[in-house]
Amino acid sequence: MLNSINSVGASTYVAPTSGVSASQAPQQSEGLEFSYNPQDELVMDPQTITVPNASKGGRAPESEHVRLGEDQVLKPNKEGQYVYNQGTPQYIAAHTMGTVQSTVNALSEKFGQDISWAFGERQIEVNPDAGMMLNAYYSRDDGSLNFFHATDPVTRQQVFSGSSGEIVSHEAGHAILDAIKPGWLSTWQADTNGLHEAFGDLTGLFMASQNDAVCELAAKETGGDLRKPNCLSATGELLGQTINNDAGQNATGGTYVRTLINDFCWQAPHTVDPKPSGTDPLTTEMHSWSRIFSGAQYDLMTAMTARNMEGGMEAAQAIKKAGSDCMTLLAGGIKKAPDEDASYRDVALGMLQTDRELGGANQDLIFSTMRQRNILFEGDDQLMSIQSAPQPRREMTVTLEGPEFGKFSGAEVTGTVSAGPSIQSGNPGQSLIDNMKMHIQNGSILYTEPNQKVEHKDLFDKDGRPYVGVVRWVDGKMTIERNTMIS
């Protein structure tokens, strides 16, 4: 039965609505309805979403790519659907499950292929409320997406990260990107990590932008000028409010976890001030660094929306089309980018090429928005193909030595480095060493003692974010391993 449901091949992708074969008809219905909020309860009332490739299981519903965690029991309502009152445990479970499968369906279409999880199982496990924490994360090792709750100290409200469509789609985006580019999760590069985070936020943006109620609201808030703050530019409004109330200050810069409106420009990651001042300044920590790329993508959507309106579309319709077109270009750019250590420029070049293959209607908009962020450079729009110049990479192990590494001095790290001609002079492992210096300065590497039993909860920093790397002692040697959890 497992194989018969997973019948959608990579080369001949069929949209899930039409992918139900006769042999699976007893399990598959016309689809099931789930509670859904493309934003969160701070922004709008819940809606429902129909998931065509979901079925009623025994213990809980399941779908083509998703199952709920073992401890979840979820029975349908009187109408036989999974629609519940907002805030109940059933609502959170139905919302996370329906949103994850809907995100998979929508991105399968954009990538033009079925999603086959990086951890080798047919379904990802979704844990709608895995305990107290102000976060959510994807774990490749466990094959799971995990959401949490916390009590807002000001409003006294219980806030669930699984009740925000943007946040659930963000985490699903990590798992989906890991399925498309598994090599991107073993990287030490700032840009590749930033691409994972940017893709999460942009997946939340894309899913929200395909919802008519969200587009109407964003149109009302902005008149179609997406440079003005709105429900689409703000990611995770309710969780952001709770984070700020918990911190006792405006830690995120506004009522959101992140905003897509910024003017950060790319620079060489090793030249970034490791301890900058100001509210929410740019650092090479992956969520922070991602904002250069996600901000550029949002600029592109803003420009496309304006152009759609000049062509006569209503604001809401213009936003929806721009959101869809942006994801088409991004998915194409990601597929064309290198399988390891991809940079922002790699994906932007891939987007230019994808657009050319689709007729080239957006060449100027892509180039100008990416050029403005220092992601693309003069002449990049004249490159007809990125395939001709992929950077060859090879794996290498280096030892971190020197006082600048503190207690991490002596640690061995394995990563990929450029194998091209540029390494003939100098130390080829220097870029890897520089990357590790950056992560250590950011506090993103967990130090452990030789005989320390490392528990699962130890793998998260004080903000609930998984560490990028963790010290493991192998035969008495300190090694730093990449953590494959990402929040």
Residue written as token pair 């985490």:
171
Part in contact with Zn ion (CB under 5 A); list of ranges 152-160, 195-203, 261-269, 392-400: 195-203
200: contact with Zn ion by CB under 5 A: yes
Part in contact with Zn ion (CB under 5 A); list of ranges 31-39, 192-200, 263-271, 272-280: 192-200
H or E stretch including 449? Answer: none
Strand ranges (E), 98-157: 124-127, 136-139, 144-147, 149-151
Q: Which residues pair with 396 in a beta bridge?
A: 415
236: contact with Zn ion by CB under 5 A: no
CB of 334 to Zn ion, least distance (A): 15
CB of 41 to Zn ion, least distance (A): 21
Part in contact with Zn ion (CB under 5 A); list of ranges 126-134, 153-161, 199-207, 439-447: 199-207
Q: Are 34 and 94 in contact (CB under 8 A)?
A: yes
Residue 202 or 232 having the CB closest to Zn ion: 202
In our burial notation (b when 16+ CB lie closer than 10 A, e otherwise), range 165-175 reads bbbbbbbbbbb
Residue 330 or 417 having the CB closest to Zn ion: 330
CA distance 27 to 29: 7
DSSP at 421: G
CB of 200 to Zn ion, least distance (A): 4
CB of 156 to Zn ion, least distance (A): 28
Q: Are 314 and 219 in contact (CB under 8 A)?
A: yes
Instruction: List the x/- string, 70-89, binding to Zn ion by CB under 5 A.
Output: --------------------
Q: Are 13 and 76 in contact (CB under 8 A)?
A: no
Interface with Zn ion (CB under 5 A), residue total: 2
Residue 32 or 286 having the CB closest to Zn ion: 286
DSSP at 261: -
Part in contact with Zn ion (CB under 5 A); list of ranges 28-36, 77-85, 200-208, 468-476: 200-208
CB of 290 to Zn ion, least distance (A): 8
Q: Which residue is nearest to Zn ion (CB)?
A: 200
Part in contact with Zn ion (CB under 5 A); list of ranges 58-66, 196-204, 236-244, 468-476: 196-204
Residue written as token pair 């220092």:
374
CB of 10 to Zn ion, least distance (A): 25
Residue 200 or 323 having the CB closest to Zn ion: 200
DSSP at 392: -
Residue 38 or 200 having the CB closest to Zn ion: 200
CB of 315 to Zn ion, least distance (A): 29
CB atoms within 10 A of CB 306: 18
Work out the widest C-alpha separation in the chain, in whole angstroms. Answer: 71
CA distance 78 to 94: 15
CA distance 71 to 55: 18
Residue 200 or 350 having the CB closest to Zn ion: 200
Strand ranges (E), 86-165: 124-127, 136-139, 144-147, 149-151, 158-160
414 three-class SS: strand
Residue 287 or 320 having the CB closest to Zn ion: 287
CB of 136 to Zn ion, least distance (A): 8
Applying CB under 5 A, which residues contact Zn ion? 197, 200
